[in-house]
Amino acid sequence: MSVPSRRLVPLAVLTLFTGFAVAIVTAPEPASASGTLRSHAAARGKFIGYAAATGPLANETAYRNIAGSEFNQVTAENAMKWDATEPQDNQYNFTGADQVVAFAQANNQRVHGHTLVWHSQTPGWVQGLSGTAMRTAMQDHISRVVGRWANDPIVESWDVVNEVFNEDGSLRQSFWLNAMGQSYIADAFRFARAADPDARLCINDYNVEGINAKSTAMYNLVQQLRAQNVPVDCVGFQAHLAVQFGFPGQYTQNIARFAALGVQVRITELDVRIPLPADQAEITRQNQYYTQIVDGCMQSTACAGVTIWGFTDRYSWVPDTFQGEGQALIYDTNYSPKPAYTAVHDALDDGDPGGDTQPPTTPTGLTASGVTSNSVNLSWTASTDNVGVTGYDIIRNGTVTNTVAGTSTTVTGLSPSTAYQFAVRARDAAGNTSANSATVNVTTQPGSGGGGCSATGTVQTQWGNGYVVQPVTVTNTGTSAITGWTVTLTLPSGHSLTGQWNATISPTSGAVTARNMSYNGNLGPGQSTTFGFQVSRPNGNTAVPSGYTCTAS
Ligand code: G2I
């Protein structure tokens, strides 16, 4: 949403919203003191997510700990937007987006992509294009960004179009609409489907949580698009709420009418801001809003889950946008859970005491086989779990690289002649992880061409019955480092080795093998080293050694 449009909500609309205020009397559900948010959500087949800010995700341990342990879903707060991913035409940057996906991967979280086509945070170069060029740019962007994770099942859904409506239900006069007309919406969905046939494709907006002109326009558009076979799979209610306005009217009925259209509903950006300083009544009201939003989602099979727009008041868009308002999230600025946390927790908790906290058993029997220069097969024995094992994390040199469903996998993309240590651990639906299995050590094979070497020898001096070969130059001709080399060559008949340096050479006649010393075996790509040897020969026999062949290890 653009900041100005949000600030300039006409007073009449605000009053209308306030008019929807109802006394909120919900019986508190049983609270259980233990259990993460995600353990309760997972036990009910839902997600509870957060919007990730890349700065603290990279830098703050407290942020990472909460993000990784409390949530099973994530949306990048800014890192997947157009200005972040394609700031200049055809110059893509996925640094922040990859960081968010990697963290999600490591913590068994699903990712919602946000957002492809939005009037805000889209660079000027797009906004200035003609209709035809803009459609092409939109198609390129969608296919590149969605395509990046098309084969990554954790990136499961996308906000394809974001905030396309005005409050009265008319279409926003964005540069998209102005350049391309209304068809840009259907086109965006079709381009996204082409880029990832398996992704769930959403239309997302704010002030559509209750039944009102805007949500009805959204309802009508979704119905119409689906009738035209435009692939709209899901509707996002942002749910940026404020305690000074009434709770969205007919929220559960609104979910129900979208559910009847056959689309998934998601709460995509939940927060509840308070005019500061907050008093107790406002905090209570905030808790009630959190409870009601989460409850409404839990009670509809069409609602997949709830994403909170951040989690700590330390990082929230609210104070930057609404002067004098804040404290909208569920942890305070020092990462302590607020009463709003308990509200969300208890709404997720259906009374199941504590949710599932029991980890799966530790996988055993980890075995490596079929080692090549760049891959290895791992297999292990299945773990067991009270609520069911959902997958196994593959741990390479201490870091989780990916998660697989079965009890074997082929790890690819390894470097030749390199030592690795692998372990696995099991996960369950509530996000509990087992201890790591015993490790297995693997050294990959030398690469064919990837770590090759060459050897050439030069006769330096000679005399009647002898000569010196110096240097024999050994070069790493491959693209990766080698840790040793072996040179074979053939001495002419009747010649015999009498001395050697910088290599150990045997036997002393015929086909001989020279091996590196401890100090000259390591060669980076393109690097060389030398060795030499001395030979005695029948007087005047000027034949020279031949057939130099180098093998890297
Ligand atoms: O405005 C709240 C949300 C409404 N729905 C769509 C969401 O994508 C939107 O998120 C907010 C982010 O929470 C803010 O963090 O979108 C804003 C942009 O419109 C984000 O703010 C921007 C600032 O405006 C930029 O100055 C800043 O460089 O965040 C950027 C990255 O920190």
Q: Look at residue 6 and tell me whether its pLDDT is greater than 70.
A: no
- Interacting residues of 18 by C-beta distance below 8 A, sequence separation 6+: 244, 245, 246
Task: Find the 202 Cα to ligand 1 centroid distance in Å.
Answer: 19
Per-residue confidence at 419, pLDDT binned at 50, 70, 90? confident
Q: Look at residue 472 and tell me whether its pLDDT is greater than 80.
A: yes
Name which of 320, 335, 208, 210 is nearest 273 in CA terms. 320
- Structure confidence at residue 450 (pLDDT): 56
Strands annotated E in 224-317? 234-237, 240-242, 264-275, 303-308
Q: Evaluate: CB of 269 within 6 angstroms of ligand 1.
A: yes
Q: Atom 4, ligand 1: which residue's CA is nearest?
A: 1
Q: Atom 25, ligand 1: which residue's CA is nearest?
A: 121
Spatial distance between the Cα atoms of 143 and 489, rounded to a whole number of angstroms = 55
**Average pLDDT of 154-179?**
98
156 in catalytic set: no
Q: Evaluate: CB of 121 within 6 angstroms of ligand 1.
A: yes
- Which is more confident, 160 or 22? 160
Per-residue confidence at 355, pLDDT binned at 50, 70, 90? low
Best substitution site from 161, 317, 321 to test ligand 1's pocket, by max atoms within 8 Å of Cβ? Answer: 317
Q: Evaluate: CB of 238 within 6 angstroms of ligand 1.
A: yes
**Average pLDDT of 402-414?**
88
Amino acid letter for position 330: I
- Structure confidence at residue 16 (pLDDT): 36
* Number of the ligand 1 atom closest to the C-alpha atom of 317: 13
- Structure confidence at residue 374 (pLDDT): 85
- Structure confidence at residue 356 (pLDDT): 66
CA separation (Å) from 50 to 14, 55, 70, 71, 104? 27, 15, 9, 7, 11
* Number of the ligand 1 atom closest to the C-alpha atom of 6: 1
Provide, rounded to the nearest whole percent, the portion of the chain with pLDDT above 90: 79
Per-residue confidence at 13, pLDDT binned at 50, 70, 90? very low
DSSP 34: S
Pick the CATH number of 364-443 from 3.30.930.10, 2.60.120.330, 3.40.50.720, 2.60.40.10: 2.60.40.10
Q: Are strands 419-428 and 389-396 parallel, antiparallel or unpaired?
A: antiparallel
- Structure confidence at residue 398 (pLDDT): 83
Per-residue confidence at 430, pLDDT binned at 50, 70, 90? low
Task: Please check whether residue 425 is in contact with residue 394, taking contact to mean a CB–CB distance below 8 angstroms.
Answer: no
163 in catalytic set: yes
Q: By mean pLDDT, which of 132-141, 276-285, 313-322, 395-404 is the weakest?
A: 395-404
DSSP 523: B
DSSP one-letter string for 292-347: HHHHHHHT-TTEEEEEES-SBTTS-SHHHHSTTEE--SSB-TTSPBPHHHHHHHHH
Task: Please check whether residue 537 is in contact with residue 492, taking contact to mean a CB–CB distance below 8 angstroms.
Answer: yes
Q: Convert the pLDDT of each residue in 263-272 to its tens digit.
A: 999 999 999 9
Q: Are strands 47-52 and 303-308 parallel, antiparallel or unpaired?
A: parallel
Which fold would CATH assign to domain 38-351? TIM Barrel (3.20.20)
**Average pLDDT of 17-42?**
57
Q: Evaluate: CB of 207 within 6 angstroms of ligand 1.
A: no
Name which of 335, 416, 336 is nearest 372 in CA terms. 416
- Interacting residues of 61 by C-beta distance below 8 A, sequence separation 6+: none
Q: Evaluate: CB of 120 within 6 angstroms of ligand 1.
A: yes
What would the CATH number be for the domain defined by 453-552? 2.60.40.290
* Number of the ligand 1 atom closest to the C-alpha atom of 268: 5
Q: Evaluate: CB of 77 within 6 angstroms of ligand 1.
A: yes
Q: Which residue in the block uniquely carries the two structure tokens 């998209």?
A: 176
Q: Which residue in the block uniquely carries the two structure tokens 């603290």?
A: 56
CA separation (Å) from 153 to 66, 101, 105? 23, 11, 10
Sheet of 399-404: strands edge to edge? 399-404, 389-396, 419-428, 440-443
Per-residue confidence at 73, pLDDT binned at 50, 70, 90? very high
Task: Find the 320 Cα to ligand 1 centroid distance in Å.
Answer: 9
Q: By mean pLDDT, which of 6-15, 272-281, 424-433, 537-546 is the weakest?
A: 6-15
**Average pLDDT of 228-240?**
97
Q: Which helix (H) or strand (E) holds 190?
A: helix 183-195
* Number of the ligand 1 atom closest to the C-alpha atom of 316: 13
**Average pLDDT of 28-50?**
80
How is the chain split into domains, by residue range? Answer: 38-351, 364-443, 453-552
- Structure confidence at residue 352 (pLDDT): 54
Q: Convert the pLDDT of each residue in 474-507 to its tens digit.
A: 999 888 888 899 999 999 999 999 999 999 999 9
Task: Find the 77 Cα to ligand 1 centroid distance in Å.
Answer: 7
Mean residue pLDDT of the chain comes to 90
Task: Find the 121 Cα to ligand 1 centroid distance in Å.
Answer: 8
Task: Please check whether residue 50 is in contact with residue 56, taking contact to mean a CB–CB distance below 8 angstroms.
Answer: no
From the list 70, 77, 163, 209, the catalytic residue is: 163
Q: Atom 28, ligand 1: which residue's CA is nearest?
A: 78
Structure tokens given for 382: 């299945």
Task: Please check whether residue 422 is in contact with residue 411, taking contact to mean a CB–CB distance below 8 angstroms.
Answer: yes
- Tell me if domain 364-443 and domain 453-552 are identical in fold: yes
* Number of the ligand 1 atom closest to the C-alpha atom of 309: 13
Task: Find the 110 Cα to ligand 1 centroid distance in Å.
Answer: 21
Question: Phi, psi at residue 38, to the nearest 5°?
Answer: -70, -30
Q: Convert the pLDDT of each residue in 176-194 to its tens digit.
A: 999 999 999 999 999 999 9
Task: Please check whether residue 226 is in contact with residue 259, taking contact to mean a CB–CB distance below 8 angstroms.
Answer: no
Q: Convert the pLDDT of each residue in 516-545 to its tens digit.
A: 999 999 998 889 999 999 999 999 999 999
Spatial distance between the Cα atoms of 145 and 122, rounded to a whole number of angstroms = 14
Q: Convert the pLDDT of each residue in 114-129 to its tens digit.
A: 999 999 999 999 999 9
Task: Find the 228 Cα to ligand 1 centroid distance in Å.
Answer: 33
Best substitution site from 78, 159, 162 to test ligand 1's pocket, by max atoms within 8 Å of Cβ? Answer: 78
Task: Please check whether residue 379 is in contact with residue 404, taking contact to mean a CB–CB distance below 8 angstroms.
Answer: no
Task: Find the 65 Cα to ligand 1 centroid distance in Å.
Answer: 23
- Structure confidence at residue 397 (pLDDT): 86
What residues pair up with 546 in beta bridges, in sequence order? Answer: 490
Name which of 427, 431, 409, 443 is nearest 363 in CA terms. 427
From the list 70, 156, 209, 269, the catalytic residue is: 269
